[in-house]
C-alpha cells in the first residue's frame, strides 16, 4: 500500500512538471548594432627604435640612447610624460648567412629593439611630431590610430542605438510570426573601439618632411543581444 502511495505521488509530481514545462513561454533572441561617427581629436602612434651591434651590450646601449633622444624631443614638442610609454624591449642574435648546408650558423651580432607609444592630443601637430621623431632616431613605425579623448558619451549613444535596433528587429520578427513580445529576459553587450589606420614604415615617411595626416571620421559601435519572451 505504501509503495502504491509513493507511485501515485511521483506520477502527480511528474504531471505537474510537464504542465509547467508546457507553460514556459517561447523566446526571441535578437542582436542590434549602433554606430556613431565622429571626427577624432586624438591620435595614438606606436613607433620604435632598432639598432644592431657586434656586442649585445652595445646594441642595447645604442637603442636606449636613441629612445632617450626620441623621448626628449617629444617632451620638447609638448608631449606630457603621461602620454609616453616604452614597452617590448627585446634583444636577439643576428645570424650569418650560411654559404652551404654543412656550414654551422654563427652569431655575427645582436639586434636590440624598443617600442614607444605616444598619445598626441593636438592633431594639428601630428605631422610635425612624426617628422621630428624620424630625424631623432625612430626607425620603425608600428601603427597610427585615431581616437577621441572622451569616448563615453559616444559609446552611450552607440549603445542606445543598438538597443533600439534590437527592439525593432524583435518587433518585426514577432509581427511576422504572429506573436506578441513579452518581457525582456536578458541583455548582453559588446562594443568596439575605433579601428587603427594602415601602417607604414618610418623610413618612407622620412623622405618627405612635414607629413600630411588626415584623420577623417571614426566610428564607435555598440552591439547588444536581447532575449524576449513571446506570447501566442
- pLDDT the model gives residue 203: 42
Per-residue pLDDT tens digits for 44-96: 999 999 999 999 999 999 999 999 999 999 999 999 999 999 999 999 999 98
pTM for the full model?
Answer: 0.66
- How far, in Å, CA of 52 to CA of 210, rounded? 28
Domain borders along the chain are 24-40+149-209+216-232, 42-95+108-147
- Tens digits of residue pLDDT in 5-25: 454 445 455 544 544 545 677
Residue 224's nearest CA partner among 170, 151, 181, 163 is 163
Q: For the domain with range 24-40+149-209+216-232, which CATH number is right: 3.90.226.10, 3.30.110.170, 3.40.570.10, 3.90.1150.10?
A: 3.30.110.170
Class of domain 42-95+108-147: alpha beta
More confident residue, 216 or 2: 216
**42-95+108-147 and 24-40+149-209+216-232 share a CATH fold:** no
Share of the chain above pLDDT 90, in %: 61
Q: Which of 79, 83, 91, 80 is nearest to 49 (CA)?
A: 91
Q: Check pLDDT > 90 for residue 208.
A: no
Amino acid at each position: 500500500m505504501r509503495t502504491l502511495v509513493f507511485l501515485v505521488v511521483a506520477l502527480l509530481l511528474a504531471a505537474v512538471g510537464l504542465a509547467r514545462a508546457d507553460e514556459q513561454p517561447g523566446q526571441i533572441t535578437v542582436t542590434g548594432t549602433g554606430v556613431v561617427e565622429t571626427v577624432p581629436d586624438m591620435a595614438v602612434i606606436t613607433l620604435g627604435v632598432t639598432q644592431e651591434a657586434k656586442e649585445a651590450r652595445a646594441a642595447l646601449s645604442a637603442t636606449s640612447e636613441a629612445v632617450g633622444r626620441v623621448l626628449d624631443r617629444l617632451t620638447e614638442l609638448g608631449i606630457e610624460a603621461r602620454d609616453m610609454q616604452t614597452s617590448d624591449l627585446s634583444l636577439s642574435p643576428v645570424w650569418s648567412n650560411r654559404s652551404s648546408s654543412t656550414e654551422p650558423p654563427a652569431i655575427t651580432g645582436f639586434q636590440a629593439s624598443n617600442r614607444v607609444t605616444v598619445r598626441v592630443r593636438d592633431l594639428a601637430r601630428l605631422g610635425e611630431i612624426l617628422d621630428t621623431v624620424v630625424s631623432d632616431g625612430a626607425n620603425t613605425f608600428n601603427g597610427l590610430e585615431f581616437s577621441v579623448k572622451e569616448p563615453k558619451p559616444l559609446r552611450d549613444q552607440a549603445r542606445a542605438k543598438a538597443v533600439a535596433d534590437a527592439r525593432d528587429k524583435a518587433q518585426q520578427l514577432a509581427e511576422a510570426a504572429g506573436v506578441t513580445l513579452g518581457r525582456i529576459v536578458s541583455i548582453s553587450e559588446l562594443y568596439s573601439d575605433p579601428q587603427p589606420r594602415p601602417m607604414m614604415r618610418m623610413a618612407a615617411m622620412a623622405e618627405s618632411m612635414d607629413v600630411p595626416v588626415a584623420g577623417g571620421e571614426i566610428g564607435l559601435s555598440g552591439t547588444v543581444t536581447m532575449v524576449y519572451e513571446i506570447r501566442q
